[in-house]
């Protein structure tokens, strides 16, 4: 697919922005050795380069809360290799690749971070991964989903906690087709995340007899979806598939229900987030989706305790998948150093090959481990339906109908396209 040309500073990533990001990354490569081991000796520094403004600001806030809790826990246990942990935070914006690269370069070169975290925006995460790879810094992507990050564009030093878009699509496609029909119309955000998510869903649906009736690419930051919804209605699908996230998802679903489309078609998608459901009016909390982590998991060890800790940090709100992404990503840094007995990035990356998260960090029924040779976390995925109102808790807005093991939808290592090379 081709991308729309969005103005600089808006939430889309256009060719000019990517070229600027690549140039900044190239300058960063000249400014530092390939594998940098010189870091400040007093504290261990973790740099978070993530959205604090724009359409993904709410998601970024919750990833930050998860990071902060993890840092508190790590420091209470003695820090990383006996040194206290410091979290440095930069606002990448929600869609400016140049800003994200600049902030990543600052964190690595000037602040001398030992680890880099980010980004929610897949295009920004990919741009940042070029910088971290050139500097040889261990980089954990909490919530940027596009497949190439741990696929065709994988790096030895870049690990990812959230699922690939293909994993999300294959986890939910069967449930949608079985229960609601095979004819899909797609509304897709016009950048890397949306493109690969639609590609994954088309492949998953086709394997089950699904049919694509049409679709539209929507720029990030879209506020008026009426023209897209009119076209979707005219196509007369069984299901309208929404791939928007953050504020865009709130706007798209709210307007779809205002148009009465939920009465004529099933509304669904792959990735859904509690932040979005909380931002919707009750009547717009509809559809079949994938949650990548969910807070209501009766009987799963450690989840209730984690929920209680986050409620205390967030004004009583439950953790979202984004909260868990930040938490698991930060703990990955500490666990990598502990396993390697070192802060050298290559040693830590080697130690994480096939590494299984402890149950109190994984916080899901079947656990989660980093796949060797790809650096992709393979967790559980939670398929189910949005509900208008929580029965026992106002934030219990998703009914899980199936827990899908990540390994069953991750494909083979060869299929990911990752051909990882390591520094000599």
* pLDDT per position as a tens digit, 240-290: 999 999 999 999 999 999 999 999 999 999 999 999 999 999 999 999 999
What tokens appear for 268 in the block? 């669904």
Q: Which residue has the higher pLDDT, 186 or 19?
A: 186
Is 15-163+311-379 in CATH node 1.10.3720.10?
Answer: no
Residue 15 has pLDDT above 50, yes or no: no
288, 310, 293: which is closest to 366 by C-alpha?
293
Quickly tell me which residue has 């809360």 as its tokens. Answer: 65
Decide if pLDDT at 18 tops 80: no
pLDDT > 80? residue 310: yes
47 and 268 Cβ atoms separated by less than 8 Å: no
pLDDT of 367 > 60? The answer is yes
Over the chain, what is the mean pLDDT?
A: 91
pLDDT at residue number 424: 86
User: Which one, of 160, 153, 148, 143, lies nearest residue 92 by Cα?
Assistant: 143
H helices of 32-164, in order, are: 57-76, 97-105, 122-135
Does the pTM exceed 0.85? yes
How far is residue 214's CA from residue 232's CA, in Å, rounded to a whole number?
8
Which pair of structure tokens corresponds to residue 205? 């649906």
User: What does the block give as tokens for 80?
Assistant: 């990383």
Let me know: does 3 contact 14? Beta carbons within 8 Å.
yes
Query: Tens digit of pLDDT for each residue in 103-153?
Result: 999 999 999 999 999 999 999 999 999 999 999 999 999 999 999 999 999
- Answer for the pair 383, 290: CB distance below 8 angstroms, yes or no: yes
Query: In this structure, which topology does domain 166-296+381-408 adopt according to CATH?
Result: Rossmann fold (3.40.50)
Please spell the DSSP secondary structure of 372-389, one letter per residue.
Answer: TTT-BEE-EEEEEEE-SS
Given the DSSP bridges, would you call strands 183-189 and 158-160 parallel, antiparallel or unpaired? unpaired
Nearest to 325 by CA among 135, 56, 137, 109: 56
pLDDT of residue 401 exceeding 70: yes
Residue 21: predicted pLDDT? 44
Q: What is the pLDDT of residue 383?
A: 98
Distance of CA 16 to the CA centre of its chain: 24
Q: Cα torsion at 305, 308, 309, 315 (round to 10°)?
A: 170
CB-count burial class (<10 Å; 0-12, 13-18, 19+) for 42: exposed
In angstroms, rounded to a whole number, what is the distance separating the alpha carbons of residues 31 and 414?
Answer: 34
**pLDDT tens digits, one per residue of 32-47:** 333 333 344 699 999 9
pLDDT greater than 60 at residue 12? no
H helix intervals, 144-212: 165-180, 192-207
Q: Which of 161, 239, 229, 227 lies closest to 202 in space, CA to CA?
A: 239
Predicted confidence at residue 107, as pLDDT, reads: 98
Q: What are the residue boundaries of the structural domains of the chain, listed by start?
A: 15-163+311-379, 166-296+381-408
Q: Which of 144, 91, 96, 90 is nearest to 113 (CA)?
A: 90
8 Å CB contact between 378 and 168:
no
Q: Do domains 15-163+311-379 and 166-296+381-408 have the same CATH topology?
A: yes
Confidence bin at 23 (pLDDT 50/70/90): very low
Q: What is the pLDDT of residues 62-106, one digit of tens each?
A: 999 999 999 999 999 999 999 999 999 999 999 999 999 999 999
Q: Are 121 and 80 in contact (CB under 8 A)?
A: no
Residues 399, 274: contact at Cβ < 8 Å? no
pLDDT value at position 17?
Answer: 42
- Return the residue matching tokens 């299984």: 356
Residue 47, helix vs strand vs coil:
strand
End-to-end CA distance of the chain: 37
Can you tell me the distance from the alpha carbon of 146 to that of 29, in angstroms, rounded to the nearest whole number? 24
Residue 339 neighbours by CB under 8 Å, 6+ apart: 348, 351, 352, 355
Q: Tell me how far CA of residue 5 lies from CA of 2, 9, 296, in angstroms.
A: 9, 12, 41
- Residue 133's nearest CA partner among 25, 21, 24 is 25
How far is the C-alpha of 90 from the C-alpha of 124, rounded, in Å? 13
pLDDT at 202 over 90: yes
């Amino acid at each position: 697919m081709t991308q729309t040309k969005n103005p600089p500073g808006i939430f889309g990533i256009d060719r000019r922005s990517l070229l600027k990001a690549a140039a900044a990354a190239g300058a960063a490569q000249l400014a530092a050795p390939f594998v940098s081991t010189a870091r400040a000796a007093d504290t261990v520094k973790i740099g978070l380069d993530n959205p604090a403004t724009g359409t993904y600001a709410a998601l970024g806030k919750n990833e930050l809360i998860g990071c902060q809790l993890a840092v508190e826990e790590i420091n209470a246990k003695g820090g990383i290799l006996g040194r206290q942990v410091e979290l440095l935070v930069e606002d990448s914006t929600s869609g400016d690749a140049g800003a994200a690269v600049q902030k990543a370069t600052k964190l690595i070169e000037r602040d001398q971070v030992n680890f880099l975290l980010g980004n929610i925006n897949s295009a920004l995460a990919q741009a940042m991964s070029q910088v971290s790879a050139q500097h040889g810094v261990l980089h954990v992507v909490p919530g940027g989903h596009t497949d190439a990050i741990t696929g065709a564009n994988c790096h030895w030093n870049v690990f990812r906690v959230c699922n690939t878009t293909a994993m999300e699509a294959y986890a939910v496609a069967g449930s949608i087709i079985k229960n609601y029909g095979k004819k899909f119309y797609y509304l897709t955000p016009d950048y890397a995340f949306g493109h690969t998510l639609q590609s994954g869903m088309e492949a998953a649906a086709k394997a089950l007899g699904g049919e694509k009736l049409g679709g539209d690419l929507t720029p990030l930051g879209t506020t008026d979806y009426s023209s897209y919804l009119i076209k979707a209605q005219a196509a007369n699908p069984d299901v309208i598939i929404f791939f928007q996230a953050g504020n865009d998802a709130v706007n798209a679903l709210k307007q779809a229900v205002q148009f009465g489309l939920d009465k004529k078609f099933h509304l669904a998608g792959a990735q859904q987030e509690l932040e979005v459901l909380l931002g919707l009016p009750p009547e717009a909390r509809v559809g079949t989706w994938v949650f990548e982590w969910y807070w209501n998991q009766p009987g799963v060890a450690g989840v209730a305790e984690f929920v209680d800790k986050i409620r205390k940090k967030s004004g009583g709100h439950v953790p979202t998948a984004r909260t868990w992404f930040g938490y698991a990503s930060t703990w990955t840094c500490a666990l990598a150093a502990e396993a390697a007995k070192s802060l050298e990035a290559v040693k830590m990356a080697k130690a994480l090959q096939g590494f299984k998260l402890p149950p109190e960090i994984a916080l899901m029924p079947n656990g989660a481990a980093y796949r060797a040779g790809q650096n992709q976390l393979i967790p559980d995925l939670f398929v189910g339906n949005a509900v208008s109102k929580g029965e026992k808790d106002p934030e219990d807005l998703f009914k899980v109908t199936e827990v899908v093991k990540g390994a069953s939808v991750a494909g083979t290592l060869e299929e990911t396209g990752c051909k990882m090379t390591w520094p000599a």
